[in-house]
Chains A and B, each alone.
Chain A
Amino acid sequence: MPAAAGVVDLTLFDVDEFLRNEESKDLLRFTTAGSVDDGKSTLIGRLLHDAKGAYEDQLKQAIRGGEIDFSLLTDGLRAEREQGITIDVAYRYFSTPKRKFILADTPGHEQYTRNMATGASTAELAIILLDAARGITTQSMRHSYIASLLGIPYFIIAVNKMDLVDYNPEIFHRLRAEFAPFLTRLGVDNAYFVPISALKGDNVVDLSKNMPWFDGHSILEHLESVDTKRAFVEAPFRMAVQRVVRPDMTFRGFAGQISSGVIRRGDEVLAQPSGRRSRVERIVTYTGDLDVAHAPMSVTLTLADEIDISRGDMISAGPEPASSRSIEATMVWFNAQPLDPARHYLIKHTSQIVPARVEAVEYRINVNTLHAEPVTSLSINEIGVVRLTAARPVFFDPYRENRGTGAFILIDRQTNATAAAGMIVAAAETGMESAADRLARLVRAAVPHGSHLNLPDEDEEAVVVVRDALKGLLRHD
């Protein structure tokens, strides 16, 4: 019978109740990174399949030799199908009765660092795979570092292939004890460890009978339970103006998407670069004015006073965003053409585009050892800390505190390529202050087995003492 599959017995289903539940669900974006053998595709296939995310006809295409090959559900492009590898970021969508999910699925090898960074940039949670049989690998450390660098607040550490080690709790506990201190050093304070077998489905969606000793919850249960609202509203109010809406002489509104925080009618706000303050008169939307709005809503604000505001300006409340032409930033280099301080670049930060120059590359971070290495340039897939000078001030918060106002992309002016992704560390100090910091960095890089990330506490103290002493000396000269 043609296309009869669509006929549904509606008496068995309460649509209104379903819609009420569906329309109130929230959204979690998460990311995974992995390569061919570590079971990432199997894990994702398992999640999509068991969470009923894969429709039946997509499943049909994924059947090879009678069994479902879960990795074929997630590899998209022809070239990738032919080579059997994942070379880009693929976005996947699925839903459970509790929540909707967007998964950024990325490849895991070092030469795909930029793809991992891309997938991580919008994620609120990262799943890091550890192999129960092989232990902690360079790859899992690299994935964790990139995820922490991009500011992902939640981690799930999935200790995979537990079936190959007879579901031995000792192995899980030992790996957790080894890996947790590393995550702490990265600044990750929300890591959840789960022993799984993606292949067998243990602890992926349902809790496994093979590991009765594990008293936590499954990966999916954890995905369903983390708080996604925290990051949105904790930070102070920030909204970059995308457009001035001015349909006639009586209305002048500033349209933008709130990057962080909460705004109420009547709140005092600051406009940069003008530095003028005013009060929010109306929060306008198509469906009516609001008394209060918060991140990540897109709204249009009108202010009580006539102040000069245009696209690219920042409207804020609470502590002022920093304003500086010189910034220090961690950058992930994307382009085949290496960083060249002689080239002209553009920064796109919030809604403004500003010409910029790279003043200096402070150091490169070896993504495998996490050591700082002195360099003068960055090549594709490399991560480093640089100082930039922009033609106009940028209004920002450090990326660690605010992903929305701390992030930028670097565009090559000649080729228009997106050359790098940047995460602002701080306003760069100029002159002598900066000289002292650079010397301190050289000291750091010179400490055996040391880096800016995993220096022992006493060495870190020594670096700070040296830097302050240098600053003092330079000031007195």
Chain B
Amino acid sequence: MAWDISHLQVLEAESIHIIREVASEFQRPVMLYSIGKDSSVMLRLAQKAFYPGPIPFPLLHVDTSYKFKEMIEFRDRLMAEVGARLVVSTNHKALDEGANPFRLGTERCCGLLKTQALLDGLRAGNYDAAFGGARRDEEKSRAKERVYSFRDTLGQWDPKNQRPELWNIYNSRIEPGESIRVFPLSNWTEMDVWQYIHRESIPIVPMYFAQQRDVLVRGSSIIIPELAITQPRADEKLQRMKVRMRSLGCSPCTGAIRSEADTLPKIIAELVAAKNSERENRVIDHDREGSMEIKKREGYF
């Protein structure tokens, strides 16, 4: 008898172990659900962890109101299918005051509509543990992130004072008001995520697949103009081209890429050949050197 076990099975088993530990050791866990492919994988792992029982915690979506329409449609369809309980958190106050990335810059806009709305949502639910889909391979500051990432009463991360993490034994002890962020996909790479989606036939937002769209080309970004604030200026024109999203976020800040990849194997083939890592097309990470680390210290995922 051969005891072959693939890397995907090892990663799956590890993630399920983490999800079960958190669900058993915390009073009020919640799973952050961003609608993206990593969230799709995390949701499937949660289904597996408690099967044949239901997922014993709600999902929380931080909605900036600038998400693509197709993302929201997908979210609502999937929640009905899975039977999960969804909580949506939006910073309506900032939106009423006209918050958008063009007026505020991406950094301040993210601070209000993502970080603030996230912290508000976590506080409103009194959640003591929040699952996030971040992976260590995404960005350099994440390479040292723990699986259980401890946050103080203000939700902040102190990279110099992280709890050591050995084996698969996690320290779940916190004081009232403190919380942890949990990253069950810590050890997955982008390629692992795509291969797992392929192997398990996990549903993802159709925007990941290439199709003909009317887009706005601005500098090195390809913008899908869904909103009043992303309509072409007088000197700009819409162009029709076959594009897809490599990662999903807010429509003004998440660029599309030109692509012919309209099936999963084609996406994976494209990934193999791609020379740029995944977050290249997100404007926010390049604001300044180490910007992801700064956002995380402030409470962003």
Contacts and interface: CB of A to CB of B under 8 A. Distances in A.
A and B bound? Answer: yes
B4 A407 contact: no
Nearest to A60: B276
Contacts of A297: 5, 9, 13
B37 interface: no
A429 interface: no
A300 B168 CA distance: 18
A294 B4 CA distance: 10
Contacts of A117: 166
B143 A296 contact: no
A5 B259 CA distance: 9
B247 interface: no
B260 A8 contact: yes
Contacts of B270: 6-8
Interface string B170-194: 1101110000000000110101100
B51 A5 contact: no
Contact of B266 (A15, A95, A121, A403): A15
Contact of B20 (A10, A18, A298): A298
Given A26-B5, A284-B52, A57 B277 contact: yes
Interface string A42-57: 0000000000000111
Given A121-B166, A348-B169, A403-B167, A13 B273 contact: yes
Interface residues of A, number: 85
Interface in A270-297: 284-287, 292, 294, 296-297
Given A15-B266, A27-B7, A242-B17, A418 B277 contact: no
Interface in B249-301: 255-261, 265-266, 268-270, 272-277, 280-281, 290, 293
A421 B260 contact: no
Given A88-B144, A346-B173, A19 B280 contact: no
A416 B269 contact: no
Interface centre among A6, A16, A79 (most CB of B within 10 A): A6
B191 to A, nearest CB: 7
Given A2-B221, A297-B13, A121 B167 contact: yes
B23 interface: yes
A26 B274 contact: no
A284 B189 CA distance: 27
A418 B164 contact: yes
B160 A91 contact: no
Interface string A20-55: 001111110000000000000000000000000001
Contacts of A27: 6-7, 10-11
Contacts of B154: none
Interface string B136-175: 1100111110000000000000011011111111110111
Interface string A401-430: 001100111010000111001000000000
A3 B257 contact: yes
B156 to A, nearest CB: 15
A158 interface: no
A238 interface: no
B53 interface: yes
A15 to B, nearest CB: 4
Contacts of A90: 143-144
Contacts of A253: 52
Contacts of A16: 265
A257 B277 contact: no
A118 B171 CA distance: 14
B49 interface: yes
A463 to B, nearest CB: 31
A232 interface: yes
A95 B261 CA distance: 23
A56 B269 contact: no
Nearest to B15: A298
Contacts of B174: 416
Interface stretch (A199-207, A243-251, A368-376): A243-251
A251 B52 contact: yes
Interface centre among A56, A91, A102, A298 (most CB of B within 10 A): A298
A57 B143 CA distance: 16
Interface string B100-131: 00000000000000000000000000000000
Contacts of B47: 286
A322 interface: no
B164 A300 contact: no
A334 interface: yes
A416 B171 contact: yes
Given A77-B293, A298-B13, A243 B24 contact: yes
A247 B56 CA distance: 10
A395 to B, nearest CB: 15
Contact of A294 (B3, B142, B143, B199): B3
A330 B91 CA distance: 51
A23 B200 CA distance: 11
A379 B192 CA distance: 40
Given A6-B257, A251-B52, A18 B272 contact: yes
Contact of B171 (A19, A89, A411): A411
A300 B163 CA distance: 30
Contacts of A286: 47-48, 51
A18 B273 CA distance: 12
A6 B258 CA distance: 7
B198 interface: yes
B171 A418 contact: yes
Given A22-B191, A242-B17, A58 B48 contact: no
A76 interface: yes
B258 A57 contact: no
Contacts of A8: 260-261, 266, 269-270, 272-274
B229 interface: no
A89 to B, nearest CB: 7
B84 to A, nearest CB: 15
B164 A114 contact: yes
B259 to A, nearest CB: 5
26 contacts: A2-B217, A2-B221, A3-B220, A5-B257, A8-B274, A13-B273, A18-B272, A23-B6, A26-B6, A27-B6, A76-B140, A81-B290, A92-B143, A93-B137, A95-B189, A114-B164, A242-B20, A253-B52, A255-B20, A286-B47, A297-B9, A349-B169, A407-B166, A408-B169, A416-B171, A418-B165
Interface of B: 1, 3-14, 16-17, 20-21, 23-24, 47-54, 136-137, 140-144, 159-160, 162-171, 173-175, 186-187, 189, 191-192, 195, 198-199, 217, 219-222, 246, 255-261, 265-266, 268-270, 272-277, 280-281, 290, 293
Nearest first, the 6 A-B pairs at minimum CB distance are A27-B7, A121-B166, A15-B265, A247-B53, A298-B16, A55-B277
Given A257-B17, A351-B21, 9 more contacts: A3-B281, A4-B258, A8-B269, A8-B273, A75-B140, A91-B136, A253-B52, A403-B167, A418-B171
